[in-house]
Amino acid sequence: MATPSTVVDTWKVDTTKPVFSGLPASTASYGSSADVPAPPAVTAADNCDGAVSVSYQEIQTNPGNPCNNTITRTWTASDSCGNTATYTQTITVGDTIVPLLTCPPDCVRVKSDDNCPDHPDPNTTGTATATDNSGLHPTMTYSDQISGVCPKVISRTWKATDACGNYASAIQTITCYCQPSLITDTMRCTLPNNQLRLIFTQDAQNMPCYKLTASNPGQFYYNIFYSGGASTVGQQVTFNVTVPYPWVTQGANPVEVYDGVTVTTGGGQTCLVPGTKILAGPQQVTLASYNPAAMGSTTTLTVTVRVPASGFVFLAVHLDYGLKGTSGFSQNTAADATACGNTARVLIPNNGLYTFSVGGGATDSASVASYNTFKKNPGIGGLVQSLRTTAPVPGANVALKDAKGALLLTGVTDQDGWYVLNYKATGKTGTLYVTLTPPAGFGAAQTKSVTLKSNGYAEVDFITP
């Protein structure tokens, strides 16, 4: 009998998957399809077979969409034993980056440049530009919000929108002066209906005559605008400013020149805010400047300035009505201020029209009308004015007391800052006390004494901060 033989077979069981090399991160995000990199060259090695082939597959939810797309990349490698390795990368493509918007600079236009339309052509006022990370040109639009009339301010909002709806916006301010000059008060706000009031009060030293005590507003500016643009920077420009009698300049340097001005509107008024002062001129106009010194006369002052880097000149001349403080007036039925005792001789007409003009660098004229108001004084009266603006202070409370502090009368200042206390003094000459309590923002209460004769009149004026 043969002896049996034994055969031993030995094998190795392979359960190890291939190993990848060169894999990207499992997740990635990009703002644009153009930023998504090409799939890397991924390799795989197996513990038994060595290098094995790698298959690649890519699936997109919205192929080519730069705004909302998910790219799924899958690599697969298998060895001869059927061990399979897979790897997946998820790429999110979503553009959330707004365009880069460059807004045109703010600009100023006056009537000599164009007709100040509500929606000026961007070819004359500047156009915004924009770029986008996608490399495509964003859609550019603008909308205008208009405030004021003359001047008017156009707030132009530029908006750049890319293909994914991302947008950037910026505001360009276009200030449009419908005329190259206008008249304002000392707060640089336009006058309602281009009117002022001349306030005549009874002259306690020369009853029954009146004196021209004040105006409402208190003082004024004649404002001139010049827009020469970049081509005029550094050049000299001359303005010939003509002023009507009896207007006079105020201060040691009444001519003010600035490199710009901004505009605010509210309460039916337009107000000017000067830029940087580049010149303070000493040119003066007094009543002696007129020949003859009479209604209808004019005088001219000349201002030469070098155009600043802004290409814009804002010239303001500080003025006042030059007959304030004079006396010897009466009134006729038309409210003209006449010679006291001779109502046929009109000295200051009611509804008088005063025209200012400019030539040279700018050509224009602006007018203001004056209305006379006569304040009677039945005993004690007075004017309350602001020291800062010289404007009247309405709504101030006034109280009259005797020497013992007993309250005799009270009153309130009217729109022209004038108050009246209908008090008739009798008997001997005595001392009384007038206390002013101004509205908020005009300082503390003030008290002044006044000596009043029997049947006499007195004017007690106050200046508030």
Alpha carbon distance 250, 324 (integer Å)? 13
Comparing CA positions, the residue from 211, 287, 282 lying closest to residue 248 is: 287
Res. 433: pLDDT tops 80: yes
Long-range CB pairs of 69-73 (<8 Å, 24+ gap) are 69/33, 69/93, 69/94, 71/36, 73/24, 73/39
Q: Is 151 in contact with 82 (CB distance < 8 Å)?
A: no
User: For 326-340, what is each residue's pLDDT tens digit?
Assistant: 999 999 999 999 999
Question: Would you state the pLDDT for residue 112?
Answer: 57
Res. 134: pLDDT tops 80: no
User: For 202-212, what is each residue's pLDDT tens digit?
Assistant: 887 788 899 99
Buried b (16+ CB within 10 A) or exposed e, 222-247: bbbbbbbeeebeeeebebbbebbbbb
User: For 136-164, what is each residue's pLDDT tens digit?
Assistant: 899 999 999 988 777 788 999 999 999 88
Res. 359: pLDDT tops 70: yes
Question: Would you state the pLDDT for residue 149?
Answer: 74
Bridge partners of residue 446, in order along the sequence: 436
Alpha carbon distance 419, 201 (integer Å)? 11
Interval 11-37 mean pLDDT:
88
Res. 268: pLDDT tops 80: no
DSSP label at residue 114: -
Res. 2: pLDDT tops 70: no
Q: What's the number of CA atoms in the CB half-sphere (13 Å) around residue 427?
A: 2
Res. 19: pLDDT tops 90: yes
Alpha carbon distance 359, 300 (integer Å)? 10
Question: Would you state the pLDDT for residue 11?
Answer: 67
Determine the distance from the C-alpha atom of residue 84 to the mean position of all C-alpha atoms in its chain, rounded to a whole number.
72
Q: Is 234 in contact with 246 (CB distance < 8 Å)?
A: no
Bridge partners of residue 195, in order along the sequence: 369
Q: Give 72's contacts (C-beta < 8 A, 6+ positions apart).
A: 58, 59, 60, 88, 89, 90, 91
Comparing CA positions, the residue from 129, 128, 125 lying closest to residue 107 is: 125
User: For 391-412, what is each residue's pLDDT tens digit?
Assistant: 899 999 999 999 899 999 999 9
Give the CA-trace dihedral at 212, 216, 218, 220, to 10 degrees.
-110
Point out the least confidently predicted range of 153-157, 289-293, 355-359, 373-377.
Answer: 373-377
Indicate the pTM of the whole model. 0.68
Res. 305: pLDDT tops 80: yes
Interval 17-21 mean pLDDT:
95
